[in-house]
Homo-oligomer: A and B are copies of this chain.
Amino acid sequence: MPTFHIEMFEGRSVEKKRELAAALTETTCKVLGVDAQSVDIIFTDVKTQDWATGGKLWSDPR
């Protein structure tokens, strides 16, 4: 039943997400010994203007 929520900056292609979902699921099954069908992964694209670190938006020059 592992359920993943993965937030990352927008811009990754569907191909990259497909590859990442497959690889993370395989890794999880290997380590935890769970069935692949029990693994859910939900991707959330975050705009750089919606994420701040150190009080500064990632859309701003650092």
Q: A5-B4, A16-B32 are in contact. Are A55 and B42 (CB under 8 A)?
A: no
CB distance B7 to A42 under 8 Å?
yes
A: residues with CB less than 8 A from B are 1-9, 12, 14, 16-28, 30-32, 36-37, 39-46, 49-60
Q: A25-B54, A50-B43 are in contact. Are A3 and B6 (CB under 8 A)?
A: yes
Looking at chain A's contact residues, the main secondary structure is mixed
CB distance A26 to B39 under 8 Å?
no
User: Could you say which residues of chain B place their CB within 8 Å of the CB of A57?
Assistant: 14, 17-18, 21
User: Could you say which residues of chain B place their CB within 8 Å of the CB of A27?
Assistant: 20, 23-24, 27
Q: A53-B40, A56-B22 are in contact. Are A8 and B16 (CB under 8 A)?
A: no
